[in-house]
Structures are given as structure tokens and as C-alpha cells.
Structure 1
């Protein structure tokens, strides 16, 4: 089975679809129409049916959009690290209270956590 790659870019108000294997292009007004337009171009130019090939879409995003996505990924990773640090500090706080002789039930009341959550923090 042959695979065709559709390189998709935004061009004004249209999505430009370039199929290098065919050295041909088409366009779509809405992104949801891109796969159908690419498939139609392949089927017309090659005289084949949809079961005879695979289509891979590769969307080329503007650099500004890529920059925002890269920054978002950095922030997500940072948030994961901060959440892990916060969980470690919560565990430390619970252990400190328990080390002072406070029961898990009392620690839960003082910290506004359930006894189950206190037990999870102690045992993690």
C-alpha cells in the first residue's frame, strides 16, 4: 500500500494542501475538509480508491504558533515538577505533625484533609 503525505499550510483564508508524490496541490476552506480534499486529489490523479493508499497529513504551523506551543510545553513540564515538589512538602508536613505525636485523625482536621488522604501521604 502506498502512502501519500499531504503538506498542509494556511494560505490566507484557505488551507493549501500539497501532495509531493503527485507534484500537485489543492485547497480547502475549512481544516475539517483537508483530508477529503487531499484524498480526492490522490484518487483523481492516480485513478485509485481510498482502500489502495494511506494518507498522512503534516501541518506546517507558523513559527509564532510553534513558539507558543513550545513555551506551553515548558510550562507544563515546570508545573509537573512544581506539583511533585508540592506533594513532597505536603508529605513532609504530615510527617512532622505525626512526629510530634498528633494522630492522623487530628492531622487531617488541622490540615483540612481527610484521614484517607493523610494515610496516603504517610504511606507514599
Structure 2
């Protein structure tokens, strides 16, 4: 199966111009979510196949350094998710240690900045 590449560039600040490279044909899309649909429909029409059977890669040409900024956003989001996982693990460990030291769930919750119900969950191993 041939993989088609649809390269989308912004055209006059209103539409996305979508070029299916392998076929040398163009179509337009009003917004980013529509790019894939329009490219699939163009290919399907030209080749007389079902749009769902088209193997397609989308290459959106972004202005300036936007692509690098979006990559940085993704990287920072991954770091944030990892930091949240680590923080949750440390909160469980701290809650367990405080419970072993004899503190009440209300005190543990206050120290961790969570409700006593959440402190109970953290110390129960769930």
C-alpha cells in the first residue's frame, strides 16, 4: 500500500492549502482538523477508493519557530507528568511513614495538603 503525504501550508490567513505530493493535486481545508479529511477525500476521489483505506501522513508547515516551540511544549508536558508521578510516590511514602509514626489521618492530611480521606487512601496502599 502506498503512503501518501499531505503537506499543509497556511494560505492567505484563511485556509490551509493541502498538497498531496505523490499525486501532485491540491485541496483546501478551513482548519487543522479538516486537513486529514480533505486529503483523504481528494486521494479517494482521484483513485476511486474508500477514504478509510488511504495510508496518509500529514506534514503541517508551521510559521517561524512554532514547530520547535510545540516540541518544547510536548517535552515539558512529559516532564510535568513524570514530576507528578514522582510527587505522588513521595506523598504515599511520606503518608505511610507518618502513619507508622502514629499520626492521625487528619494530621497526615493537613501536613500533605490533602483531605483526611485522601490521607487514608495514601496510607492504605490503594
Q: TM class by shorter-chain length?
A: 0.5 to 0.7
List alignment gaps of at least 5 residues for structure 1: none
Q: Which residue number in structure 1 is paired with residue 71 of structure 2?
A: 70
CA contact (8 A) 1:6 1:20 kept: yes
CA gap of 1:12–1:38, structure 2 versus 1, over 3 A, is farther
SS at match of 1:17: strand
Q: Which residue number in structure 2 is paired with residue 84 of structure 1?
A: 85
The structure that has the greater radius of gyration is 1
CA distance in 1, matches of 2:57, 2:119: 49
List alignment gaps of at least 5 residues for structure 2: none
**In terms of mean alpha carbon deviation, does 1-10 or 94-103 score higher?**
1-10
Aligned residues: 121
Matches within 5 A, 1:9-28: 9-13=9-13, 14-26=15-27, 28=28
Q: TM-score, normalized by length of structure 1?
A: 0.65
Could you give the per-residue CA deviations for residues 69-112 of structure 1, whole angstroms, max 9, x where no partner exists? 11111111111122123223322332332232223355346656
Q: State the Cα RMSD in Å.
A: 3.4
